[in-house]
Amino acid sequence: MSEILYFLTEYGYIGLFFAAFLAATILPFSSEVVFTGLLYSTQSDVWLCILAATLGNWLGGITCYWLGRLGKTEWISRYLRVPPDKVTHWQNKIQGKAALAAFFSFLPGIGDLIAIAAGYLRANFWLTSTSILIGKFLRFVVWVYITYWYWA
């Protein structure tokens, strides 16, 4: 794993973009290590790092959203043994909130599931996409402040 992180850090902003993309998919990967390494080892521009990480992470979240769109209600009924009327009830209840909940897709562990659920619930793509983008951007801005505060 350390070889991969070194490789991605060596490729600068493009490596950070791919690290952030991988971290936002269902693959277990940490973009923060590459992000922090790029900030400190190469004295890269902070805003370009935030831009590369945000775009990669956002596209990874959108990928999870589209994976969720592939899901079918019948699968929940069949494999989780939830009656179809309950599935429909919860889909209708959560429908309007899923796009805004996608803001929290930056959270470690559950963020991918939130994006997948938004896609599965057929949440409005543009609202969901915007929510994910804002959440991911703020995540990296906060990470910069935490990193600089810690190492200052």
Q: How far is CA 94 from the centre of its chain?
A: 20
120-139: average pLDDT: 94
Q: Is the dihedral of CA 127, 30, 41, 141 positive or negative?
A: positive
Predicted TM-score of the model (pTM): 0.84
Per-residue pLDDT tens over the stretch 66-124: 999 998 878 877 887 888 888 788 778 777 788 889 999 988 888 889 999 899 888 89
Confidence of residue 144 (pLDDT cuts 50, 70, 90): very high
CB atoms under 10 Å from CB of 49, counted, come to: 23
**Is 80 exceeded by the pLDDT of residue 43?**
no
| Residue 73: C-alpha distances to residues 31, 54, 82, 95, 115 (Å) | 33, 32, 10, 14, 17
Q: Does residue 152 carry a pLDDT above 70?
A: no
Domain that holds residue 28: 2-151
Q: Count, in order, helices (H) and strands (E) of the chain.
A: 8, 0
Asked if residue 31 lies in contact with residue 20, where contact means CB atoms within 8 angstroms, the answer is yes
Compute and round to an integer the Cα radius of gyration of the chain: 17
**Per-residue confidence (pLDDT) for residue 87, from 0 to 100:** 79
Indicate the number of domains in the chain.
1
